Structure 1
Amino acid sequence: MQPIGILLLLAVVTTGVVLVVRLLRHRRARPAPAGAGRPSTIDVTAELPTFNIIALGAQETGKTVLLASMFHRLSTELREGGFRLVTGLEQAADLTDLYATLRDPGDAWPPGTMIGQTRSFSFDCVGTAGGRDHAVLRFNYLDYAGELVGGGRAASVPVHGRQVSQQDLEQRLDAAHAIFGIIDGRRMVDALRGGRDGQLYLENTIVPMIVLMRRAECPVHFVLTKWDLFDTVGADEDEENDRLELARKELLSYPPIRNLVEQRRRTHKIVRLIPVSAIGRQFATMTEDGHMVKLPHGRLRPVNVELPLCAVLPDLFAQVSAKLDAAVERKIAEESRALSRLSLTETMSAVGRFLARPTGQAVRLAADLAVGRNVFSEQIVGTFLDWIGEPFEAKAREVAQAIDDAHRSADQIRLARQAVLEEFRENMVVLRRQLPASDLTTWGVR
């Protein structure tokens, strides 16, 4: 071969190697797909029913600490057989680092949400059946920046920037399945004691939040943080409901909040007041100047941090059920039992056919009236049918002879989902029994 030919051949080969290396680097550099980093033992269905949560709250309300504490509890600390949360490696690492900062007595408190720092998290809710973990539904959690609801350093944000963010938030509210209104417990305690700072906080931060909440059709949950600070507020230590009743009365003394609750009560929409503590009662103390200081040997024992998430589906489905009459509910229960004999692929087709029939159209209309248009996807309709229908008899299903692997897998996923739904339901029953003041609209849920 001539020298020129050899040089050309070497050039072609070298170019090819470079292209292959670049291609491999490009592939390795691609972002991980949704669900990457989750343990391989978790079975994930093709399309999980997804529920959108929006957390509203001004700066320094405890939103960040609450989120880290909630994730830690729901990913590592729940009892055997209970549901748990999983997320991608990057988000899990961020939340774990936040929790490590929180629990370290020698470290500062975790930094809060900065101006303009709206964050989105995606959590898969995992249940267990047949000896395996199954992802049965998904929560999309949007932690909106504090300046959008007033308070903090909102005045430093450019007006145009606030308007654009506000428009984006309003669009997201239309697609939300739950709104979390985060209330700073320290400022609420100050308001209960007649402090002017606490009263100004409710007037200038919580009341403006109501304007956004009135736009939403979905359930509204006021999440009262720093519940550990309420032990000295006007009630004995064991009378938690009395303390919550004081906070409830204070909130309802403001006409915009009271009007929101009354309006939602008339239309059978839910408003809750859920007290939580990301640290518990034995981890920190408040100084005379109002600052929280970690105790050198404090014990981190969060309180109720899982309850806001557990309330999402029961309250959402309760609002839809309130728009259905008893005969339609019985028909839906029959449809649900029929669907339980299908594989997951067959179920999705069957849900589409169900929605085309009169009963399905009644569900769609009820959902539109209860939580707004285009919020109930077919996947969520399938979960709603599970909720309305009688729970599976786990032992009977486990010993039944499945038609094939697809049906056996579907049975296990349904069992896992039913276990998760039942746990949500039980948590709400306990909440209503122990803290009846938590239901601001005082009408029942399933």
Structure 2
Amino acid sequence: MDTIPVTVLGPSGSGKTLYLASLFRRLAIQRADTGFFVNVPGADKLRLNNIFREVTSGAPDEWPDPSMQANTTEWTFTCSLRTEEGEVFSPFSLSYLDYSGAFMQIVDAWESEAGQAVWDRVRASKFLLLLLDGEKVLRQLDGEPGLTDELIAIFNEIQQSDAAVHVVVTKWDLLQAAGHTLRSVLDGLLEHPDFADFYLDRLNRKSVGTFRFIPVSALGQGYAVLDPASRTMVKQVRPGTYPRPYNVEIPFMAVLVDLVRDELRASALRAESAGPVLEQHRRRLERMEGWEGKLALLRGALGARPARSPLLRLFQQDVLGAAEEYGRERIAERRQQVEREIAQVRGQMLQARTEDEALTRMAEVFDAVLAEFEAVHPGSLVLKEAS
């Protein structure tokens, strides 16, 4: 398979380069929960690792400089798999075009040869990765519409493309700490008319690629917090704590799945895999997640109309508590079952004998992981690729 070009879009401060550095850090090792690893050419692996190290070991208020003017870098991630027999297959690569977010605010850059090359790449790309700064998202949800204002030029360019668009919400730990879900974040963004019209235009187009919303955190929960006084991100590095990137591999997996999903659906190998079983578990998990939401509504209704009798109030609380505990146990069991099924498919991936088989098995594992992810984050898959 040829290298798949992905153009990374996002205004200044959205964390594009840090995201790619975190992606490399997460996937540089073939881990048990991923089953594959990535390689990048020559000194790029050192550059990406140094970016990650500078962020995690620097001063509490030290972050990558977002003011670099119109610089562009292309990072190629080759996806590889070491099988149980010790063979290494490298069935595909993703090439990420990363440019400074300050590019969007420089008139001369738009008119330069380099600027035209970026937009030519955007229009030619089958995959666009749009990063939204989670800190700015949080501010917009609190009534400051600055983020959408910064995105208008990008929306205008995306409107000219039929590419798959993966919207990645960075710094998800901030939004999660504020009690947000992916659904509540999307609902809040859609309150801005420009964002809503961009969203609806994408949904109403007859022939466009997949449209996804994916929450990620380059450093993980609790490693950086929003200082309420300065309203800036501050690292809280404590002895024995390490960055634990969250979901950074999901957009990487989604590119391959969205590229070959139709082929996999018709593949004999797909029929022989655990895919149908995983799909069944995914649907059950979705129903249980929905049931958990209904339970929250019931809890609110009971709280709004408490029983008059202390004995009945105690009974209400006991019944609701038992129902919540039962729901949590069933959801945990279903998730464990899905994990076991994914581990089974991953085991088949590690038994691949050819590069083509490695690609097919890898796509099946990614598909299974995305199915679980979509069940846990309802609304992530907004639009499947038009047929």
User: TM-score if structure 1 supplies the norm length?
Assistant: 0.62
State the 1:193 CA deviation.
1.4
Question: Which consecutive unaligned segments of at least 5 residues does structure 2 have?
Answer: 272-344
Report the structure number with the largest CA radius of gyration: 1
Match for residue 171 of structure 1 among 109, 120, 135: 120
Q: Following TM superposition, by how much is the alpha carbon of 1:206 offset from its aligned partner in structure 2, in angstroms?
A: 1.7
Specify which of 243, 250, 260 is matched with residue 181 of structure 2.
243
Q: d(CA) in 2 for partners of 1:259 and 1:218?
A: 18
> Between the two proteins, what is the percent identity of the paired residues?
25
Q: CA 1:281–1:92 in 2, change beyond 3 Å: closer, same or farther? A: same
Q: Work out whether 1:222 is the aligned partner of 2:167.
A: yes
Q: Distance in 1 between matches of 2:248 and 2:174?
A: 15
1:420 partner SS: helix
Residues 55-91 of structure 1 deviation map (CA, whole Å, 9 limit, x = unaligned): 0111111112111111100112632771211011210
Tell me what 1:426 maps to.
368
- TM-aligned CA deviation for residue 333 of structure 1: 4.0
Q: Which runs of 5+ in 1 are unaligned?
A: 1-47, 236-241, 338-390, 399-409
User: Hey, what's the Cα distance between the residues in 2 that align with 1:187 and 1:335?
Assistant: 44
- The structure-2 alpha-carbon separation of the partners of 1:246 and 1:163, relative to structure 1 and needing over 3 Å to count, comes to farther
CA drift of 1:247 comes to 1.4
**Change over 3 Å in CA distance of 1:160–1:225 after alignment to 2:** closer
1:289 counterpart = 2:230: yes
Which residue identity does 1:273 align to in structure 2?
A: F
* Closer, same or farther: CA 90–200 of 1 in aligned 2, 3 Å: same
Number of residue pairs matched by the alignment: 307
Question: Secondary structure of the equivalent of 2:181?
Answer: helix
1:339-418 counterparts in 2 under 5 A? Answer: 411-418=353-360
Match of 2:92 among 129, 132, 137: 137
- Per-residue deviation, 1:249: 1.3
- Match of residue 349 from structure 1: none
Q: Counterparts in 2 of 1:266-305, with a 5 A limit?
A: 266=204, 267=206, 269-287=209-227, 288-297=229-238, 298-305=241-248
Two-structure CA RMSD over aligned residues (Å): 3.2
**For residues 249 and 290 of structure 1, what CA distance do their matches in structure 2 show?**
24
Matched, 1:193 2:142: yes
- Who is 2:12 aligned against? 59
8 Å contact from structure 1 (residues 59, 147) kept in 2: yes
Partner residue, 1:354: none
Aligned runs of 1:77-156 on 2, under 5 Å?
A: 78-79=31-32, 82-104=35-57, 106=59, 108-112=62-66, 114-129=68-83, 130-148=85-103, 150=104, 154=105
- Structure 2: how far apart are the matches of 1:444 and 1:177? 11
Counterpart of 1:125, as a letter, is C
- Is the CA contact 1:127–1:134 (under 8 Å) kept in the aligned structure 2? yes
Question: Once the 2 structures are TM-superposed, how far is the Cα of residue 306 of structure 1 from its aligned partner?
Answer: 0.8
For 1:68, which of 9, 18, 21 is the aligned residue? 21
Give the match for residue 253 of structure 1: 191
In 2, the alpha carbon distance for the partners of 1:250 and 1:77 equals 37
In structure 2, the CA distance between the partners of 1:136 and 1:82, relative to structure 1 (3 Å rule), is: same
**Where does residue 344 of structure 1 map in the other structure?**
none
